[in-house]
Amino acid sequence: MMEKSRIEMLFRQYYAQMYVLARTLLYDDDESRDVVSDIFAKVYEGDITITPPTEGSYLMAAVRNRCLNLIEQKQTRERLRCLYALETDSVSMECDDERYDEVMAFVGSHFTGTALRVLQLRFADGLECKEIASTLQISTVAVYKHLARAMETIKANIKNL
């Protein structure tokens, strides 16, 4: 376990750099402060051992890795939230006729096979994911994957969606 004075010195020396890196990756002040504080807490508790020649590099790498883990966790939660929304049918397609026509033209020209059929059954026919899976004789997970990929493609290619 490091001495308290050594940890305080590291804190004063590297906190600003670590915070800036976390803020750059997370775009959130509170989360950035939490990440840096958590790393120093682990150093204080003795969970992390730092050797003098690489302490700055180690602390910066720890911030980067912790931020990337947080970002991945957020993306996973968001994907699950979206899949749950699709399953519970709480997704609403409210757009004007022109926008709807634009989306449908894009879907018709960029999707084929199972992906196109899944989109048609889901949004045109209003079937739930379980019903689509049964109709197409594929797994519910496959339906979710087709929908998720299709939605990502549509959002990436159609502005202001």
User: Into how many domains does the chain fold?
Assistant: 2
pLDDT band at 95 (very low <50, low <70, confident <90, very high): very low
What is the Cα–Cα distance from 160 to 149, expressed in whole angstroms?
18
120: closest CA among 107, 130, 131? 107
CA of residue 7 relative to chain centroid, distance: 33
What is the Cα–Cα distance from 27 to 74, expressed in whole angstroms?
13
Q: Are 7 and 40 in contact (CB under 8 A)?
A: yes
* Amino acid identity, position 97: D
Do residues 20 and 54 both lie within one domain? yes
pLDDT, position 22: 92
pLDDT, position 56: 87
Do residues 102 and 151 both lie within one domain? yes
What is the Cα–Cα distance from 118 to 126, expressed in whole angstroms?
11
Do residues 66 and 102 both lie within one domain? no
What is the Cα–Cα distance from 64 to 99, expressed in whole angstroms?
40
- Residue whose structure tokens are 């003098």: 52
End residue of a domain, out of 43, 63, 85: 85
90: closest CA among 100, 81, 101, 99? 81
Do residues 79 and 8 both lie within one domain? yes
Domain, as residue range, for 56: 4-85
pLDDT band at 59 (very low <50, low <70, confident <90, very high): very high
What is the Cα–Cα distance from 136 to 149, expressed in whole angstroms?
18
pLDDT in tens, 127-144: 888 888 888 898 888 888
Q: Look up the pTM and report it.
A: 0.50
Q: Is the pLDDT of residue 93 over 60?
A: no
